[in-house]
Amino acid sequence: MFQSLRTPGRWLLGATLIATGIAHLSVQREAFQAQVPGWFPIDADIVVVVSGVVEIALGLALLLLARHKLLVGWVVAAFFLVIFPGNIAQFIEGKDAFGLDTDLERFLRLFFQPVLVAWALWSTDAWTPGLSWLRRRRSDGDG
């Protein structure tokens, strides 16, 4: 059953990334700056613009590069991991943005990032080769 939802899931994730990337470049540009860690050595606005462009590109890749969806899935998952320190910084530094204006709300937001990683891997079927590799490694070790 969930197999038939992979393609629409990939499209939804792609569209979400495109919309989020556009928001980085326009209406939520300042809000996204709250997720750039204070210690990061690059100007927050530059980080927001670059990450917005990357999100648009990744969203388009999810929509248009179905033939390479495994690779795209791993790249999108890696992107979600790379930007996770921004979410941690928003929590630790207590920065308000996106309606997250309490420590509890910013803390709970941290648990959504693994969901995004799993969504990228599931919707592109990228985790299947990884699971197969793990099974082979386990069976090789048993013999």
pLDDT of 100: 80
What sign does the dihedral 123-20-82-57 (CA atoms) show? positive
Could you tell me which residues are beta bridge partners of residue 97? 100
> DSSP letter at 41?
S
pLDDT of 96: 82
Q: Who's near 72: CB < 8 A, 6+ residues apart? A: 58, 61, 62, 65, 124, 126
Tens digits of residue pLDDT in 75-120? 999 999 998 988 888 888 888 887 788 889 889 989 999 999 999 9
Tokens matching residue 54: 């990357």
Position 132 pLDDT exceeds 90: no
Position 21 pLDDT exceeds 60: yes
CA neighbor of 58 nearest in space, from 40, 76, 84, 81: 76
CA distance 114 to 106: 15
pTM value is 0.83
